[in-house]
Structure 1
Amino acid sequence: MLMFRYAICNETYQDWPLENALSHAKEAGYNAIEIAPFTLASTAYDVTAKMRGQIREEIADAEIDVVGLHWLLAKTEGFYLTTPDDEVRRRTSDYFCELARLCRDLGGDIMVLGSPQQRNLLPGVSESEAMRLAADCLRRAMPTLEQCEVTLALEPLGPAEGDFLNTAEKGLELMDLIDSPNCKIHLDVKAMSAEEKPIPQIIRETAPHIAHFHANDPNKRGPGMGDVDFVPIFQALKEVGYNGWVSVEVFDYEPGIESLVKDSLAYMRQCEAALV
């Protein structure tokens, strides 16, 4: 019996129609799809009620679940988490509220917040001040997320992506500042590979607060397509009783869609089968 629930991010399918991506993911053996808003429209505001209904129908027809949303602020303009500009932070908070409504309308309940280009430290803003500003921005949106029954999963990212929230420990610090039951932590194998601590240790230390998990390799391809051994990673997830999604997220599409989709899942199942 499989222990983990596997998902895949929809941008892996690049220019495929969503309907085709959903059916292919289901046929490949995934339990769910994770959606990047920019693949649907320029902003969440542009995904109309009619469009949301049509997408829900396609999801139902494919008989697949929806994790929720990620790449929340990618390819948008005018939003920023850590800016001292109150108006920009207010606008960003309002946008997170709309993302929460979109996530709910599509049947998801997780929003993964990476988006380093909209959170990196601005000139003259210290890390501690950025923490305060980000917490202020996100705290304003939390009542709407709570109402929508959506969890915000803060995603620490490595220094190759940015200079703010580079470790799981920092993610926990921001989570505590936001202080909402609907704000937790997201862990990403590629990002954790940049930390000094071993990945299994990070998982164990973060365990009570993990809402979501991305499976990938530092080479930006799928699990099993690089040097990272996922057996000890999955062993740690098993030991802490993680029962959320394990979702494939890639950034290098050179192996091709079929390989990224099918080989990633085959490798993860192989690793799961090796657990004690």
Structure 2
Amino acid sequence: MTFIMNRRNALRYSVGIGFLSFITPGFFCNSAPARRFSIGACDWSIGKSSDVGAFDVAKQIGLDGIQVNMGSEANNMHLRQKEVQAAYKAAAQRTGVQIGGLALGALNDVPYKSDPRTEQWVQDSVDVAKALGVKNILLAFFNKNDLRNDPQGQQVVVERLKAVAPKAEKAGVILGIESWLSAPEHLAIINAVGSPAVKVYYDVCNSSVMGYDIAKEIRDLGKDMICEFHLKENGYLLGKGEIDLIKVRQTIDDIGYTGWLHIEGAIPKGKPMLESYVENNRTVRSLFS
């Protein structure tokens, strides 16, 4: 029987994940706190992509957590190594900065839609997420991995996600698609995969660049189809650019989302990263307290 993702199925799966959070070792310590929002940033945006030093920088900024990149082709996706995982967990404990999410940014240059090596990377990312105690894995679909106007590539992605989804379901982990696609296009992929472990990783800036109605997209997807958010600007501080964060907050309230909000980009030309991110963090906390 074909599984069609709907709010009832997604809610059932979300409840299951909530239960797993109590029985999975390390999950409780590193998942988002009980308050409604936790504020993090992407390690690549603070100059520490795939670098354990991101935790110290995040502490300087005052962030709750960090979204960590699983690795690169050059380091063979090093977070798959137990000793690297241990170093990250030790840094999180030492700094008080949580591991707020996992990302596979390398897929932008080594495409999931065509390179066979990436199948194992994504399979292994589920194990890494479970080991680090995080729920959401960002799968990046940009540059060489762009899905726009590529039905063949989309079909390959659907088949590969079908293969890994049962493992993600069992682990209580979500595979989040971040791409240039619209909400209806994302939903078409999700329904074709037929698993509640596949959702949208929603980036407000990507949607703005594409000319989508951000509020409508967020409402159409709803909290059951959005696993997490990026709050991003290109070349501006948050709150000073193209994205109406007040409207974004209102829309997030409308759908009842709770969880991580990760800051990405948002560094004006010529402005230091640390200074920019202290201000970005302050802005987000003022709007998403």
Does TM-score exceed 0.5, indicating one fold? yes
Note if contact 1:71-1:115 (Cα within 8 Å) is conserved in structure 2: no
Change (3 A) 1:221 1:37: farther
Q: Distance in 2 between matches of 1:184 and 1:65?
A: 22
Note if contact 1:44-1:99 (Cα within 8 Å) is conserved in structure 2: no
What are the ranges of 5 or more consecutive residues in structure 2 without an aligned counterpart? 1-33
Match of residue 82, structure 1, among 105, 110, 113? 113
Q: Distance in 2 between matches of 1:17 and 1:110?
A: 17
Q: Distance in 2 between matches of 1:261 and 1:171?
A: 30
Q: CA offsets per residue over residues 110-166 of structure 1, 9 Å max, x none? A: 1111232342369xxx63333221101121122232233221011122xxxxxxxx2
Residue 237 of structure 1 deviates from its aligned partner by: 0.3
AA aligned opposite 1:128: P
Q: Counterpart in 2 of 1:11?
A: 44
Q: Counterpart in 1 of 2:126?
A: 100
Q: Counterpart in 2 of 1:143?
A: 166
Change (3 A) 1:75 1:134: closer
Matched, 1:209 2:232: no
Q: Distance in 1 between matches of 2:107 and 2:268?
A: 18
AA aligned opposite 1:22: F
Instruction: Among all aligned residue pairs of Structure 1 and Structure 2, give the percentage whose two residues are the same amino acid.
Output: 19
Q: Distance in 2 between matches of 1:41 and 1:62?
A: 27
Matched, 1:37 2:53: no
Q: Distance in 1 between matches of 2:46 and 2:212?
A: 33
| Range that drifts further, 40-49 or 137-146 | 40-49
Superposed CA RMSD in Å reads: 2.9
AA aligned opposite 1:145: A
Q: Counterpart in 2 of 1:72?
A: 105
Q: Distance in 1 between matches of 2:141 and 2:164?
A: 17
Q: Secondary structure at the match of 1:70?
A: strand
Higher helix share: 2
Q: Counterpart in 2 of 1:55?
A: 88
Change (3 A) 1:154 1:74: closer
Matched, 1:257 2:273: yes
Q: Secondary structure at the match of 1:82?
A: coil
AA aligned opposite 2:142: P
AA aligned opposite 1:103: A
AA aligned opposite 1:14: G
AA aligned opposite 2:228: H
Residue 264 of structure 1 deviates from its aligned partner by: 0.8
Change (3 A) 1:148 1:2: closer
Q: Counterpart in 1 of 2:12?
A: none
Note if contact 1:222-1:248 (Cα within 8 Å) is conserved in structure 2: no
Q: Counterpart in 2 of 1:268?
A: 284
Change (3 A) 1:75 1:41: farther
Change (3 A) 1:234 1:41: farther
Q: Counterpart in 2 of 1:161?
A: none
Using the size of structure 2 for normalisation, the TM-score is 0.77
AA aligned opposite 2:259: G
Using the size of structure 1 for normalisation, the TM-score is 0.80
Q: Counterpart in 1 of 2:140?
A: 114
Q: Counterpart in 1 of 2:9?
A: none
Q: Distance in 1 between matches of 2:260 and 2:73?
A: 22
Q: Secondary structure at the match of 2:176?
A: strand
